[in-house]
Amino acid sequence: MEYVKLGPSGVKVSRLCIGTWHLPRSKDKDLFGINKVDVEEFKKILKVAVDNGINFIDTANRYHGAMTPVDLNHVGNAEKILGKLLKDYDREMFVVVTKVRGKMAPWPNGEGLSRKHIMWQIKESLKRLDMEYVDVYLTHYPDPDTPKLETLRALNDIVERGWVHYIGSSNEPAEQIVESMEIAKKYNLHTYVTIQDPYSLVNRRIEERKIPVARKYGLLIMAYSPLAKGLLTPKYLSGIPELSRATYSESLKRRLTKENLEIISELNNVAKELDITLPQLAIAWILYKEKEFGVTIVPIIGVSKLQHLEDNLEALNVKLDTDTVRRVEEIASRFKW
Ligand SMILES: NC(=O)c1ccc[n+]([C@@H]2O[C@H](COP(=O)([O-])OP(=O)(O)OC[C@H]3O[C@@H](n4cnc5c(N)ncnc54)[C@H](OP(=O)(O)O)[C@@H]3O)[C@@H](O)[C@H]2O)c1
């Protein structure tokens, strides 16, 4: 496994990060009729991830692992499962990322990026994860009701208390990232080391504004949904498989149009010509782009089966040439996201 630096910090993280938004699903349902997480399968995934040198894990206070959107009966489940499974290892092996912002309770301050909410939720995340600190704490998405300085001061304080080691943001517009970095510098507060955004062959919106901002500040880009939530795999070419994400994610199902599936099929044919799989092609494409843009990008892979992880790890051995990259970009540019 190759390791890269967590932005301007001295921390080293693996070339791939494991995500926990969606975890392996069991056919068993809970009291609310929601599929339970297959904890045993996730345990196996974590073992193979660790055996292959992955030390970087992404979660969020709201994640459940088998539900989207997550209701208030199910928030926090992924952090609890992750915390329990990581007890099999030395906590210090891992760089654990979690997030704050989304709704965790029905009352007015049950969500947001106010000092009150952040101070509450970091303690709750530490309890759920059963950890003394998290390595990286991200704002999940902006909160227009809270002044940036209030959020940045609260984040600074939880770093000073040792509950969090580093901070960053997710889904924050490029100009707001610049504003946050400059405010933090002006007030001598801790600044971001990473930003987290969607990035894949079929969703390249960060290239124009965010990648230049990440380069300017030396921020690591954590690229989420690198397989476009499972679209950049052959799995939907012959229908919707049982327990797949499209069985319960409306936003994913909406994108399974005839035109999009034709594009996926073309990309799958390119992968076959190269004797690799489509997920490997999609992940290797991201690793090619980071060289082209001169930034560090770590794909956060979501895996709901051990076999996905084994497949995706092989992407690290794939080197794409420029002609192939241009060819797949041309095909993918017709995808309607
Ligand atoms: N900051 C944010 O707002 C935000 C938003 C989204 C995600 N994230 C983070 O990013 C992580 C990754 O996002 P994502 O899960 O959308 O990533 P993704 O890698 O685009 O999609 C993962 C899904 O693709 C399918 N898959 C993965 N590897 C496969 C393979 N080799 N063959 C066949 N199918 C395969 C699986 O679908 P099935 O489960 O259907 O089999 C899996 O659940 C999340 O877990 C989360 O930690 C953050």
Q: Can you give the residue ranges of every domain in the chain?
A: 3-230+278-320
CB of residue 298 inside a 6 A radius of ligand 1? no
Calculate the CA 186 to chain-centre distance: 29
Q: Looking at residue 65, what is its pLDDT?
A: 96
Ligand 1 site, residue 181, Cβ cutoff 6 A: no
Q: Which of 288, 289, 246, 287 is CA-nearest to residue 264?
A: 246
Atom 21, ligand 1: which residue's CA is nearest? 229
Q: What is the pLDDT of residue 301?
A: 97
Instruction: For ligand 1, say whether the CB of 302 is within 6 Å of any of its atoms.
Output: yes
Catalytic residue annotation = 63
- Hey, whose CA ends up nearest to atom 28 of ligand 1? 308
pLDDT of residue 55: 98
pLDDT confidence tier of residue 306, bands split at 50, 70 and 90: very high
Euclidean distance between CA atoms 81 and 171, whole angstroms: 25
Query: Is the pLDDT score of 42 beyond 90?
Result: yes
Segment (H or E) for 19: strand 17-19
State residue 337's pLDDT score: 86
Task: Tell me which residue has its CA closest to atom 25 in ligand 1.
Answer: 230
Assess whether the C-beta atom of 56 lies below 6 angstroms from ligand 1.
Answer: no
- Asked whether 225 lines ligand 1 (CB < 6 A), one says yes
- Quote the CATH superfamily of domain 3-230+278-320: NADP-dependent oxidoreductase domain (3.20.20.100)
Nearest of 284, 285, 277, 270 to residue 318 by alpha carbon: 284
Q: What is the mean pLDDT of the chain?
A: 97
Tens digit of each residue's pLDDT (9 = 90 or more) over 209-262: 999 999 999 999 999 999 999 999 999 999 999 999 999 999 999 999 999 999
| Dist. CA 10 → ligand 1 center (Å) | 28
Burial class (CB in 10 A: 0-12, 13-18, 19+), 153: middle
Distance 229 CA to ligand 1 centre (A): 5
**Residue 91: which pLDDT band, with cuts at 50, 70 and 90?**
very high
The amino acid present at 176, given as its one-letter code, is Q
Is the pLDDT score of 62 beyond 90? yes
pTM comes to: 0.97
Distance between Cα 203 and ligand 1 center (Å): 14
304 lines ligand 1 (CB under 6 A): yes
302: pLDDT confidence band, cut at 50, 70 and 90? very high
Exposure string for 282-295, b = 16+ CB within 10 A, e = fewer: bbbbbbbbbeebeb
pLDDT of residue 107: 98
Query: Ligand 1: which of 79, 96, 301 to mutate, most ligand atoms within 8 Å of CB?
Result: 301
Given the CA of residue 21, which atom of ligand 1 is nearest to it? 45
| Ligand 1 pocket, residue 62 CB under 6 Å | no
pLDDT digits (tens, 9 = 90+) for 101-141: 999 999 999 999 999 999 999 999 999 999 999 999 999 99
Distance, in Å, from the CA atom of 129 to the CA atom of 147, rounded to the nearest integer, reads 29
CA-nearest residue, atom 36 of ligand 1 = 230
| Cα-to-centroid distance, 148 and ligand 1 (Å) | 30
